[in-house]
Structure 1
Amino acid sequence: MRWERFFEDLQDQFDAEWEAERAVLDTEAERLRLSKVTLRERLLVVARTEASQRPDVVVELIGSESVHARITAVGVDWVGVEMVAGRSGIIPVAAISALQLPHADVLRSARPADTGRASVAERMGIGFVLRDLVRRRVPVTVATTDARTRSGTIDRAGVDHLDLALHEPGEPRRSDAVRGHRIVPFGALAWVRVDGAGRE
């Protein structure tokens, strides 16, 4: 009887130590996994959420501006968002200083993203997206990290900058309506909002 109790106590002690060690290993494995998660991967989880379940996000930008939006796409170095009034926009990842999400979405975004084949948008850089706006002659508003906004049409998009023809917001670009030009480095972009349909 005494030996049976002795072995039961040993088994209980062994089980408790094993569970404690396993919990430590699981915790360490989770820390290691999280140490390898990128912001882009977390943004992909949010963007790939079913549209009706997609959270509202406050994107805090360098220069103290914030954009209230829903993340709809993620590229190589940009985030596509649906802004107020259903307008679409592009935010360079480098312009983001913080993201405000509901806690459940913060936790969910830390889980591994589906590693299936990346969509076309997920493989595009911001220059490619801006060149599409050039092609379609879409009126835009461009905000820079110094909190300035300018409205117009992007005439050209290079490797690291764009040329913006300034005109009234939402109006098509006509030479008599253009009141100036700006060259804007991609590094200075806070966001680009699409203000019109442009032409196909």
Structure 2
Amino acid sequence: MRWDRLFEDLEAQLALEDLRELDSEVADRTRRERALLDVHTRLLANVGVTGVALGLPGRVLGGRLVDVGPDWALLETAPQRPVLVALHALRAVSGLGRGARTPSVVAKRFGLGAALRALSRDRAVVEICDLDGRPATGTIDVVGGDHLELAEHAPDELRRASNLTGRLLVPFWSLGSVRRL
């Protein structure tokens, strides 16, 4: 009987040690997988979520996360009022659920330039804000590889030569957000 108890105790200790090793391995793999996540994949998993807040320098935009590209997020701050936010301008994000989602090959290629070209094609009147939150209004005339050119005019006027107050070249790295007016 004493031998039986001794062997049972040894078996229990081995089983406990195996369980500890498995827990440690799972925790290590979880840490490694989390280390591979980036902001883009976290945001992508939360498309459609309401109550997301994107912190930009000097301001916070809140609303429903509509779409996410490799270097931009589209946030609906009010019904039919989306704001395109450059991911490099983010300072913090709140309101996200857990999880991450890998983007499709096509989604990986639809960068900030492509989103801005869509606004330019529509000849939409926009308000752009730089990283310091300074606004400028007008129509995007040109979208280059790393910049946009804004024909500045009042938000309630059409883009006409007589309405232009200036031309503004904005490098993508200094762009914070773009809102269609």
Same topology, TM > 0.5: yes
Separation (CA, whole Å) in 2 of partners of 1:170 and 1:70? 26
- Alignment match of 2:72 (pick from 78, 87, 93): 78
Deviation of 1:69 after TM superposition, in Å, equals: 2.5
**Partner SS state of residue 45, structure 2:** helix
Which of 113, 127, 139 is 2:101 aligned to?
113
Per-residue Cα deviation, 1:104-148 (whole angstroms, up to 9, x for no partner): x1xx13xx4256x44x45431111111111111011110111220
Which structure carries more strand by proportion? 2
Q: Relative to structure 1, is the Cα distance of residues 86 and 174 closer, same or farther in structure 2, using a 3 angstrom cutoff?
A: same
Equivalent in 119, 122, 135 of residue 136 of structure 1:
122
The offset of 1:176, in angstroms, is: 2.3
Q: 2:139 aligns with which of 146, 149, 153?
A: 153
Matches within 5 A, 1:34-113: 34-47=34-47, 51=48, 54-61=49-56, 63-101=57-95, 105=97, 108-109=98-99, 112-113=100-101
> Which of 158, 163, 179 lines up with 1:172 in the alignment?
158
Change (3 A) 1:170 1:25: farther
CA distance in 1, matches of 2:108, 2:81: 20
Letter in 1 for 2:58: S
Q: 1 CA distance for matches of 2:165 and 2:79?
A: 27
Name the amino acid aligned to 2:89.
A
Q: List alignment gaps of at least 5 residues for structure 1.
A: 196-200
Q: Secondary structure at the match of 1:57?
A: strand
Alignment partner, residue 173 of structure 2: 187
CA RMSD, Structure 1 to Structure 2 (Å):
1.8
**1:148-195 deviation line (CA, Å, top 9, x unaligned):** 011111111111111111222254322222222211111111100111
Partner of 1:19: 19
Q: Which runs of 5+ in 2 are unaligned?
A: none
Q: Which runs of 4+ in 1 moved over 3 A?
A: none
Equivalences, count: 181
With structure 1 as the length reference, what TM-score do the two structures score?
Answer: 0.83
